[in-house]
Amino acid sequence: MTRRDRLPVLASVLLATLPVTVRPVQAKVRVVASLPNLGSIASEIGGDRIDLSAIAVGTQDAHFVDPKPSYMLKLRNADLLLINGLDLEIGWVPPITQGARNPKILPGAPGYIDCSAGIRVVEVPSSLTRAEGDVHPYGNPHYLTDPLNAEIVAGTITDALKTADPGSAQAYEDARKAFVRRLREALFGKDLVDLAGGAKLSREAAAGTLDLFLDGTVVGGAPLRAHLGGWLGRLQPLRGKPIITYHKDYSYFAGRFGIRVVEYVEPKPGIQPSAKHLEDLVERLKQGDVHVIVTRPFVEHRSTDSLAERTGVKVITVPIEVGGAPEATDYFKLFDHVTEQLLKAFGVTAQTGPASAAVARP
């Protein structure tokens, strides 16, 4: 008897002996995420109701993953494929979905979930072009660097799971609500969420009116801003500070946290810098206002090392995906880690960091 023959027998024995409240393993929704951030959010919503795997790891460049045959195997029995979309994975997701021969997860099928749905995309070019190798033809695809966009992605994933597994719809909805609450507490601080309401804060932040709201609403004699904590509170000392990033992948992050990205090491997304471009960057750095360059684990470090050597600028290697650093074990820890790295690079000490430490007035 081969292993393959034995499995159904074993499964039926197991099913017969399981209490009725235990979900049989076979009923799990098989979810494959193209990238670890999507996988982390899916895990928050699906929990043990889904059988989850991700294709790329956080130390890989999401634009340039090798479409390996082993990835096709991962997709062969998938019920849902979660992709970032906006052509971020154009070089590798189409070949592996075609190679997987699984009609459930082909573009247009119900199991093909483009998680960019509903995202307000920035830097959308006026005409679709890949001129000079630009890898952002539909606008900036790195929307999950803004934690507020994870709320939208969580909604998309929840809807997909409800459709694939209607019997557990309520459980997915409950998990989505718990995730969104935790996300808002991590972004704004629990104190502020309790005072102002997470949905209200989220709406104000999405509309770009959070500052007006925080400064214009007085509670107990102090503006609400005194209660701002979380990642936004901790990163307040960095607001308005200029940085340079290697790739154009911090636009959403910069918008949310008020940091200014003034230049890029890449002259265009996906294009390595020329000697001329590096000279221009040296000139830019000589202005003296930019003290930090943010680069990624998967790009070349020659250019940034040389910029650091020539100008004294500090270069930090920061992950953009879960698993891109040992500390970034899930979507929350990714932002915890990024926050720490940025504060450290700017020399912000713990005393001036967390706004959540501010004492609320009676």
For residues 140 and 168, which CB has a smaller minimum distance to Zn ion in the complex?
140
Q: How many Å separate Cα 305 from the centre of its chain?
A: 26
Q: Report the DSSP pairing between strands 112-114 and 222-223.
A: unpaired
CB of 86 to Zn ion, least distance (A): 9
Least distance in Å: CB of 58 to Zn ion?
15
Closest approach of Zn ion to the CB of residue 193, in Å: 31
Residue 345: CB minimum distance to Zn ion, A: 22
Touching Zn ion, residues 146-175 (CB under 5 A): none
Contact stretch for Zn ion (CB under 5 A) within 155-163, 201-209, 266-274, 317-325: 266-274
Q: Scan residues 269-298 and list those touching Zn ion (CB under 5 A).
A: 269
| Residue whose CB is less far from Zn ion, 36 or 269 | 269
Q: CB of 164 within 8 A of CB of 80?
A: yes
* 269 vs 273, beta carbon nearer Zn ion: 269
| Nearest CB to Zn ion, comparing residues 49 and 136 | 136
CA distances from 348 to 244, 339, 345, 353 (A): 18, 11, 8, 6
Identify which of residues 142 and 225 has a Cβ nearer to Zn ion in the complex.
142
Smallest gap from Cβ 284 to Zn ion, in A, equals 21
CB of 338 to Zn ion, least distance (A): 17
As measured in angstroms, the least distance from the Cβ of 61 to Zn ion is 8
Q: How far is the CB of 62 from Zn ion (least distance, A)?
A: 7
Selected range binding Zn ion among 182-190, 197-205, 212-220, 263-271, rule: CB under 5 A: 263-271
Candidate segments 65-73, 220-228, 268-276, 284-292, binder of Zn ion by CB under 5 A:
268-276
Least distance to Zn ion, CB of residue 342, Å: 19
Q: Three-state secondary structure along the chain?
A: CCHHHHHHHHHHHHHHHCCCCCCCHHHCEEEEECCHHHHHHHHHHHHHHEEEEECCCCCCCCCCCCCCHHHHHHHHCCCEEEECCCCCCCCCHHHHHHHHCCHHHCCCCCCEEECCCCCCCCCCCCCCCCHHHCCCECECCCHHHCHHHHHHHHHHHHHHHHHHCHHHHHHHHHHHHHHHHHHHHHHHCHHHHHHHCHHHHHHHHHHCCHHHHHHHCEECCEEHHHHCCHHHHHCHHHCCCEEEECCCCCHHHHHHHCCEEEEECCCECCECCCHHHHHHHHHHHHCCCCCEEEECCCCCCHHHHHHHHHHCCEEEECCCCCCCCCCCCCHHHHHHHHHHHHHHHCCCCCCCCCHHHCCCCC
Q: Which stretch binds Zn ion (CB under 5 A): 65-73, 115-123, 156-164, 267-275?
A: 267-275
Query: Closer CB to Zn ion, residue 229 or residue 269?
Result: 269
Residue where the block lists tokens 């609450």: 181
User: How many residues contact Zn ion, by CB under 5 A?
Assistant: 1
Stretch that binds Zn ion, among 22-30, 89-97, 167-175, 265-273 (CB under 5 A): 265-273
Measured from the CB atom, the residue of 198 and 269 that comes closer to Zn ion is 269
CB 96 within 8 A of CB 71: yes
Report the C-alpha gap between 303 and 346 in whole angstroms: 21
Span from 77-85, 169-177, 237-245, 261-269 in contact with Zn ion (CB under 5 A)? 261-269
Of the pair 153, 226, the CB lying nearest Zn ion is at 153
In terms of CB distance, is 169 or 271 closer to Zn ion?
271
x/- mask, Zn ion, residues 322-351, rule CB under 5 A, reads ------------------------------
Contact residues toward Zn ion (CB under 5 A) are 269
